[in-house]
Structure 1
């Protein structure tokens, strides 16, 4: 069903919000801070050094799930922005959005097959297509759907935890089909591509990360859209932002710390952190950045590079994975690198790739209005949509 959007009482923002680009940049680099351990895993194993130690565990826990949750929320906000843009222009919604979803799915499929097997773009494309139609629902219905999706997700977590306790094969953190970024140990690049292609279908099966991310994504997409409509970035919503921060930092963060760091919770319950409490922390991060930028029109020296990454979110997401794979098959295979401390090695790899991304994004945006993949994506959309 496609209808012309009707006027509804939603928040109106008078200018481009710098918080949105900064939040996207934080989400992109934050997810890479979690995924970088997958790129350095082979080098750590080759060096014969484990990742034990409280300090290492802390840095593995810190980004785990939180920035993935933030990225998911930002996708929902972006979808609502597209809907509002269509409404203001008098265009039907969802209109031609299914074409956008198909392009996003294609991006994710190529990323999955040729780059990394822990891609989320394919799932976001499926979720986004569903949410695009649900955004037409009334406010009360949208909130009930949000609660319903998250409730189903929470009901699935104990099942997943029990499967892990029974040692049933299910995906670990960062996995989609059980493959590492470099594919099977010792495999060449094209052999890895062949295995990834073979496992493309199972990547949506019950033993993949798809069921875990699906209902969480549906809930967070809708939650992000609802919060944007409520005016989460407006000065009049300070009480809402502080309430979210109180919940996220005061309740979700301590729970996430207990699950991820302490020995009080068995490892089988780790899914409650990455796919549970981490989402609450992500909401608090959203509220914190929104509060900071309420009365600031410019990102500032720290926010500016993050904003550049955020404006090129798709390009930077794909490029960080490409650079990670290249590094894992070149620099990180050298013997002198493998003997480094795992935390030092991983931290250096993260900072190096992040510096390249930030420099590239800031330089590119001096000459072009959008990132390279965004430009290609827009051109493809206009051709397919005949605009």
Structure 2
């Protein structure tokens, strides 16, 4: 399954209550190694970035993307319902998702609502999600033009395949109210979806799979990290500065490694899992504990046909401008900014900047797209607050 684009309606945090992204190449494709070919002229991206300053909704947007991917994989809504809790006061929201699977294009229309946990007390804020109705469309012919990926245009070349509300009673009883009708076409097409939001403790299987191969990339002072000859969960770690190696459980090994090394091992391990299956890796704040070159190295794993032959997609958030300069296309970067109503506006970089020569970091830092840098008045107010606090502290010591 390849997610082409999606739109969520009724998401209060975002401008016009709409959260929408596309994951296909809308610009020209002079270098096909940077994208993945479905059927010409449609290519999907291999790297997508969400950039913005603090508190612009990047992590929230990423969690919604993960939820949409899991919904299209046929997973129950309850398994990722937390992503939607910010919509609970609205009672319902809608999803349009265009995806490609087994040589065909599909469009899913879903109306999702909250239902009371019990009939006795429906006054509580409802947190159980269910599908009110859904319609699944399938293209009657191949998509030959990018404009046919517009939701309205797609319906003109598509035919209705399934409508949830018209299913027979017998068919409906085999479909839980929190599982999408797309589960009816899912066979072995479910993508691997891996997400890294926070620092996680190092796990024994991860070190077994990737620790020795990548540890010294993130910490050159490590000579080797490998499983103990005795097997089990013990590992041998030797630093170049030490004459002796040490043998410990992974919990002790973790305390001897830097946060960047642990993050790097986990990140590369998850990358390999999705690269070998053409899945999705979602990383919140990709620059956490990593320098610019290492961030670029992670992106290069996805950009390369050699390491990414199946079109796996890396979707990351960042507020580190220099990381953006490793992105070689313009149509795979989104800036998230707060508008005057304090809602998040999602701006596609290629819609505002037409020249590929522009350094994306300079565009970000220059505030060329308004909202990518803190307001001067807010920074000045912070400085005044610190000065006032210092004055109070000085007076308190006199």
TM-score bracket, normalised by the shorter chain, equals: under 0.3
TM norm structure 1:
0.27
TM-score with structure 2 setting the length? 0.27
Higher strand share goes to which structure? Answer: 2
Q: Report which structure shows greater RCO (CA 8 Å, sep ≥6).
A: 1
Q: Greater Rg, structure 1 or structure 2?
A: 2
- Structure ranking higher in helix proportion: 1
